[in-house]
Structures are given as structure tokens and as C-alpha cells.
Amino acid sequence: MVSTSLYKLSVKQHLALLGYSALVWSLLPVLFIRQLLKGVRKDPKWAQRFGVLPDKLPTGGWLIHCVSVGEVTAAAGLIKAILKRQPELPIVITTTTDTGAEQVNSLLGDRVRHCYLPYDTGWAMNRLLRRLAPKRVVIMEVELWPNMMRQCGLRQIPVYLVNARMTERSAARYQSFGALFQPMLQGLSRICAQGERDAIQYRNLGASEDQLVDTGNMKFDIAIPHQAKEQRADLRRRWAIENRLVIIGGSTHDPEEMTLLRTYRALRKNWPQLLLVLVPRHPQRFDSVADLCEKQGVNLIRLSQNTPCTSETEVLLADQMGKLNQLYLLADLAFVGGSLADRGGHNALEPAACGLPIIMGPNQYNNPMICQALEDVGALCSVEDAAELQRQIRDCLLNPNLRQQSGRAGLRAIERNSGAIEKTLAVLFG
């Protein structure tokens, strides 16, 4: 099913697309200068963002677009399942961030090819699609671009939105830009919604029943580590923290590191064996978080030093990408970042898969159904502020049985809600 709506625009929709395209073109000189200032040595693939594609990209396969790390992680299981069905299928993955590109390489290696998604001009998207000639375009979650969708429509390329989410906040924003959003929505062959709440939002925005399929959330298909106890013991020996209680702050944003440092300092008076692991969400903040720790007088070891902790070590700073899941394995308790900071909260299923009790702040709008599912079974506790965070961590430290019960509940929730990848495959190959 390929919609023709994207190349039969109303006058209003056509004017909206022209205005949007003019805005993008007006921003390109600024973006170009910024990339030049960053330097080719720092970003050798910067030209791809302007439509200059790498050599030897395969043609006639599938194009899968993921924004960044979270979407790549969620898509990895689906992509492996696709390749299991069709091992020779050429797959090109596009991302918009460097961290997303690194995650593609880390999780999928040479099984796929990667390039950066160009800025959304008709010229660049035409060039991308003409070069790749994909049989299908698969977009993760909610990353729709007007010119990309229009060029797919002109070529009659089926576009599937998978693991599709739609928060109330996003729905309101898209509704206010209806002349741009409606053609994109109508041009989707299928919308594989994460859950009924997301399907309702898409339906209210104008998606048809034929387009919508509730496939569930692929993030629940996360791999639960086999032999987790053995891996945990090995990691803790490697870092010389066998007898430490470990709190991890995963995917943190400013000012969450400071909040965790203050909480840690207050609690260490009663738990001298306490260790705090900080994993900032963005690599460009590694040095600034290290500076923050040093200004606070914290005894710090950086992961990149590859040096075991000592009894004096207070904070282990993960200053390397792709280490979060491994670090969750060695922890006793997890705080998931972007939730006290107003970033919508990051993936709580990663610590749940490692059997950890989870604490998050009130901002959980990126993954509300996941957070609710974990909270309903007692695997996740929501707190409103720094004071409540400290109280909840203290309660968890005082009660090892509570930590174990919460961890087991999270594992059960993952097992109960898994299966979205198989349902999505049925849509893609149906």
C-alpha cells in the first residue's frame, strides 16, 4: 500500500512545504559554516549531511532511519531479525548524530552500511533516494521529514513508521503544523504503534484504521543478559569493587550529576562503601562532568583510564560510548537520567533487563507506557525532586530484599511485554 497523497498536495499544503523548504535552505549556510569550524578532522563525514554520500552504498535494499542511540538500540533487534529472514538484503541505516553512528557500528558492525541523513532539502533527499533506490523505507519512532517523505511519495516507495510513539506534547505540536504533517501522515504505508495510547494519538491526528497496527514496543524485546550473575561478578572483580554498593546514574543531563553527587555525599556518611557511577548522555559533556567532580573534591576515576577503583574512589565516570549496559550489570541501583532534567526520561528497560531497581524523576514523557508498566509491578519508583530521590535511594540501600524484589519484577515485566519484533516483521513482510 503506497499512498499518493505526498505528490497531490493542496494549495495550502504546497505553500507550507515551500515555506518549510525555504527555511531549511536559509539555514544551510549557517550549518555549513558550523561544520567547517568543527573541522574535517573531527567529523570526516560532515559532507554527508549536505547530500555528498559515501562511495559503494548498496542499492535496491532497505533504508532504515534512526535518529540517535536510543532508536538504533531499539532497531538493532529488528534489523538482525530482518537479516535472519533475508541474509542478502542490503540495508543502509541513516542517523543524524555521531553517537547514533557509533552505536550502529557497535551493535551491527559490517552487517549493514551507515551514512548520515542529509539535511531535509528536496535536492538532498532526491539525491539520497536516487542513489540508494530503496525498496522500502523504515523510520523508527517519530522522525518524519517533509521533503524526505515527499520524495518517497514521488517514487512510490513504501514508508513504514515502526515502534511509533506519539506523546500528547508531540501531537499538539504536529497539529499546529497540520499543513506539513498531514501529507506525511497520509503518505505512510503502515504505522506500527508502540501501544494503544500511541495509536489513539495517531488516529486523532488523522491516521486511518488501515494504516494503524498496534505491534507493541520493541524496546521490551531487549536481550536479558545470560549468566548475568557471572558477568556481574567478573565486572566487579575487574574494577575491584566486589564489596561496594554501587549506584549508577545512566544517561544523565545537567544538573542531574550535581544532584547525584550531593545525594551520594549525604548517603556515604552511613554507607562508606558506596560508589557512584556517572554515565552522561552526551560525550561532549564528559570533560565538564569530570571538572564538576573535581571541583566538588570527589575522588574520581575515568573509565578511559582503565584503572581499577580503590577504597578511596568515590565516583567512576563513564567517559566512553557504548558502555552503559555493561555498567548497569555491575550496579545495585539505577537512576535513569533525563527525568529530573526536563528531557522526557531515557530507557528504563536497560537497567530492568539487568535486574536493577529503578528510580526516575517526574519527566517520563518519552516512554510513558514503559515507565508505567515498570511502576505498576514495583520495578520503578518515581520521585518529584532531589530530596525525594535521596530518601528513595536511602530506603533501597536499607532494604536488600526490596532491591531484589524490584529487580525480579522488572525482568518479569520485560518477559510479559515482549514480542513486538515478531509482530513488526509480520507487517514489514506482509
Which among 71, 256, 257, 375 is annotated as catalytic?
A: 71
Find cell 531497581 and name the residue: 357
In order, the DSSP letters of 105-155 are HHHHGGGSEEEEPPPS-HHHHHHHHHHH--SEEEEETT---HHHHHHHHHT
C-alpha cell at 219: 524496546
* Nearest one of 389, 337, 386, 387 to 363, comparing CA atoms: 337
Coil vs helix vs strand at 165: coil
- How far is the C-alpha of 71 from the C-alpha of 73, rounded, in Å? 5
Is 354 in contact with 331 (CB distance < 8 Å)?
Answer: yes
What residues does 224 pair with on adjacent strands?
none
* Dihedral sign, Cα of residue 12, residue 14, residue 17, residue 19: negative
- How far is the C-alpha of 253 from the C-alpha of 289, rounded, in Å? 10
Coil vs helix vs strand at 163: strand
8-state DSSP, 222: P
88 is catalytic: no
Is 245 in contact with 271 (CB distance < 8 Å)?
Answer: yes
- How far is the C-alpha of 202 from the C-alpha of 190, rounded, in Å? 11
Coil vs helix vs strand at 380: strand
Is 65 in contact with 139 (CB distance < 8 Å)?
Answer: yes
Is 274 in contact with 264 (CB distance < 8 Å)?
Answer: yes
Distances (CA, A) of 282 to 48, 100, 288, 387, 421: 22, 11, 11, 25, 28
Strand duo 136-140 + 91-95: pairing: unpaired
Residue type, 270: N
* Nearest one of 212, 195, 222, 205 to 372, comparing CA atoms: 195
Is 170 in contact with 95 (CB distance < 8 Å)?
Answer: no
Burial label for 143, CB within 10 Å (0-12, 13-18, 19+), is: middle
Torsions phi, psi of 369, nearest 5? -70, -35
Q: Which residues are catalytic?
A: 71
